[in-house]
Amino acid sequence: MNNFWAGWAPASCMPTNCFCESVSMGELIRQPSNSWSSLSFVVSAIFIIWAMTRVNNIPENQLARNKSLVYLYAFSCFLVGVGSFFYHASLSFVGQWIDVMGMYLSVTFFILYNVYRLRTWRPISFYFSYFLLNILLGYLLYFYPHARRYLFGSFIFILICSIIYAQLKLRTMINHRYIISAITAFLLGFTIWILDIKKIACQGDSLLQGHAFWHFFTALAGLLIYFYYLSERDNRKV
């Protein structure tokens, strides 16, 4: 096959810094392991929707009461999976933008959800803040793509701080094992991500790629954080 992606603007990691997996320039899917493993986020999104349908209305839980929020978060996970697949298949700038936007949508969702819980926002206030913030991030991602990892890392830090602060203020009943497991999965995935991108543990032609494991662990973390908030029981809002 001729180089299908030749006419596309390349991702900012090209040509030599697109993780460990070898780049098959003449193939439709340039990084197979990194591409197919991205679909673990799609599986998480499907499982989130399935879990929502299995939960009866719980007045003490805001996610259970406002299922549109769940659909919004599930969509962000779905976009990460589809965007990441497209990114690693094409190694194009468009794919990179969609991939990272999905990541931004996912991490900012629960930062703003913590504000939503603390300030008892109406859903419309959440949606407005969420879309406005991500429109700004989409602009920055397009014009300053090299800042994407620093921004995402900063939002992860803000998310962890917001989780701790919100729970110290609200003191609601919630299953902390989920969030501890989510952070553990993320940190394990991030460690593997470092080893992969720095090519410390790297076999470019292997089907077992560190970045693929990063996909698996972060998809799991995204699922666990959803169950963390679904486990909340806030009797003040009954």
Three-state SS at 92: strand
Render 137-170 in DSSP notation, one character per residue: HHHHHHH-GGGHHHHHHHHHHHHHHHHHHHHHHH
The reported pLDDT for the residue numbered 236 is 65
Q: Which of 219, 234, 225, 226 is nearest to 51 (CA)?
A: 226
- d(Cα 39, Cα 88) in Å, to the nearest integer? 11
Q: CB-side exposure of 122: number of CA atoms within 13 Å?
A: 3
User: What ranges make up the beta strands (E) of 109-231?
Assistant: none
Q: Give the domains, in start order, of the chain with CATH numbers.
A: 32-237 (1.20.1070)
The confidence score (pLDDT) of residue 135 equals 98
- Stated pTM of the model: 0.93
CA torsion 164→168→169→171, rounded to 10°? 120
Nearest CA among 18, 19, 29, 38 for reference residue 82 = 38
**141, 97 contact by CB (below 8 A):** yes
* 3 state DSSP class of 233: strand
Predicted pLDDT of residue 140: 96
Long-range interactions of 85-90: CB distance < 8 A, separation 24+: 85/35, 85/36, 85/38, 85/39, 87/11, 87/38, 88/18, 88/21, 88/29, 88/30, 88/31, 88/34, 88/35, 88/38, 89/28, 89/29, 89/30, 89/31, 89/35, 90/5, 90/8, 90/11, 90/30
Q: What is the pLDDT of residue 2?
A: 59
Residue 238, pLDDT score: 44
* 10-residue averages of pLDDT along the chain (238 residues): 82 90 92 98 97 80 89 97 97 97 97 93 93 97 94 96 96 96 97 96 94 98 97 74
Cis peptide bond prior to 15, omega within 30° of 0: yes
Looking at the DSSP bridge assignments, the partners of residue 233 are 173
